[in-house]
Amino acid sequence: MPLHDTSYKHWTGAHLGVWRRRLTIARNGVAACLQNRWMRHLLLLCWSGALLMALALFAVGQLLVADSVVVEWVGNFNPRLQTFARMLTTWLEEHPEISVRTTQNVLFYYFSTGLLKFSIFAIGMIIPVLITRDLASNAIVIYSSKAINRGDYVFGKFATVAGLMGLAWLGPVCAAWFVGNLLAPDWRFFWHSRGALLNVLLFGICGVAILGFLALGVSAVSSREKSTSALWYIWWIVGGIVSQIVAEVLPWLRHFSFNYNLEQIALSVFRLGDDLKRVQDNIPIFGDMLRNVSAETMSMLNAPEFTGAAVASCFMMGLALAIVAHRSRPE
Amino acid sequence: MAPFVIETEGLSKVFGQQRALDGVDLKVAPGAIGLLGPNGAGKSTFMKCLLQLQPVTSGSARLLGREVGREGREIRKRVGYTPEQDCHIPGMVGCEYVTYCAQLCGLPFRVARQRAHEMLDFVGMGQERYRRVDTYSTGMKQRLKLAQAIVHDPEIVFLDEPTNGLDPKGQAQILELVQSLWRQFGITVVLSSHLLHDVDRICEQIIIIARGRVLVHDSLQNLKARRRGEAEVVVSERHEELLSACRKRNWAADLLPNGHVKVVHGCDSLNPLIELLDELKLPPLEVIPSPNALEETFVQALELSRAAA
């Protein structure tokens, strides 16, 4: 016999708004993703990378000031290198906005694109949690009978991917920027490196939007968990390789790989070619060194295939959205 | 509260060549409503159209005074639904699942969690609420479906075959809970079933649907009143004597396999039958007026519909 009242009780409180309901779906999705042990290990790896990046920024920051501890320390091993470093820092000190901006922009380009690979891998692990399982267990009917519509459901699932990418990618990158500049020898580093942060955020938004929609699309393709995960990895790895091979004949096929498109978007956002040119123009010692950069590399840095990548990404996102809209119908 | 919880005008739903709903016009007052019909009659489609789980082909519908199709979210805040098929959100334990469903209806987390436990108590789930939903038996899943449908305190709850797959004891328990929702707590219940006994037991209003059309919409009391001329008499002995006495009065009488005597007396009240029993000095154990009114109305409605088609 129950010790408390087990009869039905009415409730007269105020309902929360639709945004809170969408966030409930996202929060529940992220929590489900984090139940996977391998996902937690992967996140730990990403945040360890962020720590290493912050240390690297600290070391680079020390190279960019006159009374640098690192330059003094280098003198203990190689006095000639110390002389070179002092000459370099003299130039760099004269152009802090260029030196800080360029070094951080280049570093964050590589860090963002590198960490993005982990994020893509992580998405493959969570793809079944997004829509696949709901299709398998008819959960779409339950969602549809609650005070949300199909758009809210899709938004909540998209926010799940975005939340995970925030934890595995944008969070570590932004944290590395903040901690790295906090450890810098001068507070002005925050200001001079703002361009790098903005590029990270811009590329981050593009990456989250593209990968988020594609992940939802792949997740909605089948109700079998292994199939959707496998499809994601095949598209990423095999698709990337095959599209490069086939692209020798039909160059536009390169855009079949979402990884290639993201690389082109990253190059367009970070504009590394502009940075190199700025350094060549303002810091003579670098100007001499960078003359050796091949024309092909400069061309690739200066003129990435942004339009093709953007059009292909939009097309794929549209297709993914159409699949999600079709498959997330309750009946 | 609105005078009608469900109002439809010319509601139609077409799947390819088949008309699942064919111009349904209804005005349903609050209460315990039984939605009856053979398999494939359009009962589930009717519910799904009202809940916007399926788009309406033509016509209009209002639920709780709000336009279906325009105010979907607002309507579903005040509506509960237990689907016929097995469906749950995987990877969750029972109480998490019900809490999550309450949150999806806009309840704050703390309230949702508290109500989830209250509703799980109400439907009679014990410690199994801490087990993963995927491991539940059919009976537990039916209880869980009912809990998630009422956790946000809806004004109306749609139950699509809620006793499917349950043993007789489980069926009785679920029906008792459903019955209490309207009688004790004022929540309108729409019970879709092809089991007449379930509907007869708990519903006050009956809607019979076949071939996508509403054949009958009336209170159970009225339906029984239409068939007042019949009764079943339960006696412990002297069955033959009762049968012959009835036949002498030109009443059709039969001995049923369950030992009851079915009498078609054709009168508005049971008084002539009681008088006869009194004359015979035969005390009845029970006299059941219009015993199969619902079943007979149902069959008759279907036959008329078939003939019209």
Here the CATH number for the domain that contains residue B241 is 3.30.70
The answer to whether residue B203 sits within a structural domain is: yes
The answer to whether residue B305 sits within a structural domain is: no
Q: Where are the alpha helices (DSSP H) in A35-68?
A: 37-63
Residue A111 tokens, joined = 């860090």
Residue A11 tokens, joined = 């409730």
Note whether B141 and B60 are same-domain residues: yes
Note whether B67 and B96 are same-domain residues: yes
DSSP secondary structure, chain B, as one string: --S-SEEEEEEEEEETTEEEEEEEEEEE-SSEEEEE--TTSSHHHHHHHHTTSS--SEEEEEETTEETTTSHHHHHHTEEEE-SS----TT-BHHHHHHHHHHHTT--HHHHHHHHHHHHHHTT--GGGGSBGGG--HHHHHHHHHHHHHTT--SEEEEESTTTT--HHHHHHHHHHHHHHHHTT--EEEEEES-HHHHHHH-SEEEEEETTEEEEEEEHHHHHHTTTTEEEEE-SS-HHHHHHHHHHTT-EEEE-TTS-EEEE---SSSHHHHHHHHHTT---SEEEESTTHHHHHHHHHHHHHHHH-
**How confident is the model at residue B19, as a pLDDT?**
87
Note whether B14 and B108 are same-domain residues: yes
Least confident of A250-254, A308-312, B257-261, B301-305: B301-305
User: Looking at the 3D structure of chain A, how many domains does it have?
Assistant: 1
Note whether B91 and B183 are same-domain residues: yes
Q: Which residues pair with B159 in a beta bridge?
A: B82, B191
Q: Distance from A152 to chain B by nearest Cα, in Å?
A: 10
Q: Do residues A270 and A203 touch, judged by C-beta distance below 8 A?
A: yes
**How confident is the model at residue B230, as a pLDDT?**
81
The answer to whether residue A13 sits within a structural domain is: no
**How confident is the model at residue B2, as a pLDDT?**
66
Note whether B28 and B157 are same-domain residues: yes
CA A53 to chain centre: 15
Note whether B233 and B219 are same-domain residues: no
Picking from B224, B258, B278, the residue at the C-terminal end of a domain is B224
Model ipTM?
A: 0.84
Q: Which residues pair with B11 in a beta bridge?
A: B24
pTM: 0.85
Q: Is the pLDDT of residue A93 over 80?
A: no
Note whether B216 and B124 are same-domain residues: yes
User: How distant, in Å, are the alpha carbons of B66, B129, B192, B219 from that of B3?
Assistant: 12, 38, 22, 16
- Torsion sign (Cα): B306, B307, B308, B309: positive
Return the closest-CA partner of residue A268 out of A228, A308, A218: A308
The answer to whether residue B306 sits within a structural domain is: no
CA angle A30, B96, B71 (to 5 degrees): 80
Specify the pairing of strand B6-15 against strand B18-28.
Answer: antiparallel
The answer to whether residue B85 sits within a structural domain is: yes
Report the first-to-last Cα separation within chain A, whole angstroms: 41
Tell me the pLDDT tens digit for each residue of A261-306. Answer: 999 999 989 888 887 777 777 766 666 666 666 666 766 676 678 8
Residue in the block written with tokens 């398999």: B39
- Interatomic CA distance for residues A212 and A209, integer angstroms: 5
According to DSSP, residue B132 is labeled: B
- Interatomic CA distance for residues A83 and A49, integer angstroms: 32
Note whether B211 and B251 are same-domain residues: no
Domain assignment of residue B278, given as a range = 228-289
Note whether B207 and B240 are same-domain residues: no
Q: Distance from B214 to chain A by nearest Cα, in Å?
A: 23
Residue in the block written with tokens 């950069």: A293
Residue in the block written with tokens 């450890």: A183
To test the contact with chain B by mutation, choose from A142, A149, A224, A331 the residue with the greatest count of B C-beta atoms within 10 A, namely: A142
Residue B68 tokens, joined = 């279906």
Q: Where are the alpha helices (DSSP H) in B29-83?
A: 43-50, 72-77
Return the closest-CA partner of residue B145 out of B113, B97, B183, B194: B97
CA angle A138, A139, A141 (to 5 degrees): 80
Picking from B224, B253, B276, the residue at the C-terminal end of a domain is B224
Picking from B190, B206, B224, the residue at the C-terminal end of a domain is B224
Extract the residue ranges of chain B whose pLDDT is less than 70.
Answer: 1-2, 227-228, 305, 308-309
**How confident is the model at residue A289, as a pLDDT?**
64
The answer to whether residue B35 sits within a structural domain is: yes
Q: Which residues of B touch A141 (CB under 8 A)?
A: 53, 83, 85, 87
**How confident is the model at residue A40, as a pLDDT?**
95
The answer to whether residue A10 sits within a structural domain is: no
Is residue A197 very low, low, confident or very high in pLDDT (cuts 50, 70, 90)?
very high
List the single residue in A with minimal CA-CA distance to B104.
Answer: A21
Return the closest-CA partner of residue A221 out of A321, A330, A121: A321
Domain assignment of residue A319, given as a range = 18-327
User: Looking at the 3D structure of chain B, how many domains does it have?
Assistant: 2
Q: Is the pLDDT of residue A3 over 70?
A: no
To test the contact with chain A by mutation, choose from B51, B104, B184, B187 the residue with the greatest count of A C-beta atoms within 10 A, namely: B104
List the single residue in A with minimal CA-CA distance to B70.
Answer: A149
A325 inside 8 A of chain B by CB: no
The answer to whether residue A9 sits within a structural domain is: no
Task: Count Cβ atoms below 10 Å from residue B303 Cβ, excluding itself.
Answer: 11
A7 inside 8 A of chain B by CB: yes
CA A7 to chain centre: 51
Q: In what order do the strands lie in the sheet with B252-255?
A: B252-255, B261-264, B230-234, B286-289
The answer to whether residue B297 sits within a structural domain is: no
Phi first, then psi, for residue A126 (nearest 5°) are -100, -5
Q: Is B283 helix (H, G, I), strand (E, B) or coil?
A: coil
Tell me the pLDDT tens digit for each residue of A22-41. Answer: 999 999 999 999 999 999 99
The answer to whether residue B137 sits within a structural domain is: yes
Note whether B119 and B145 are same-domain residues: yes
The answer to whether residue B276 sits within a structural domain is: yes
User: Torsion angle of alpha carbons B1, B2, B3, B4, nearest 10°?
Assistant: -120
The answer to whether residue A1 sits within a structural domain is: no
The answer to whether residue A250 sits within a structural domain is: yes
Q: Do residues B106 and B133 touch, judged by C-beta distance below 8 A?
A: no
Are B52 and A25 within 8 A, CB to CB? no
The answer to whether residue A6 sits within a structural domain is: no
Note whether B213 and B232 are same-domain residues: no
Specify the pairing of strand B205-210 against strand B230-234.
Answer: unpaired
Tell me the pLDDT tens digit for each residue of A126-181. Answer: 999 999 999 998 899 999 999 998 999 999 999 999 999 999 999 999 999 999 98
B252-263 burial by CB neighbour count: b if 16+ within 10 A, else e? ebeeeeeebbbb
Q: Which residues of A touch B181 (CB under 8 A)?
A: 8
The CATH number linked to B139 is 3.40.50.300
Note whether B14 and B143 are same-domain residues: yes
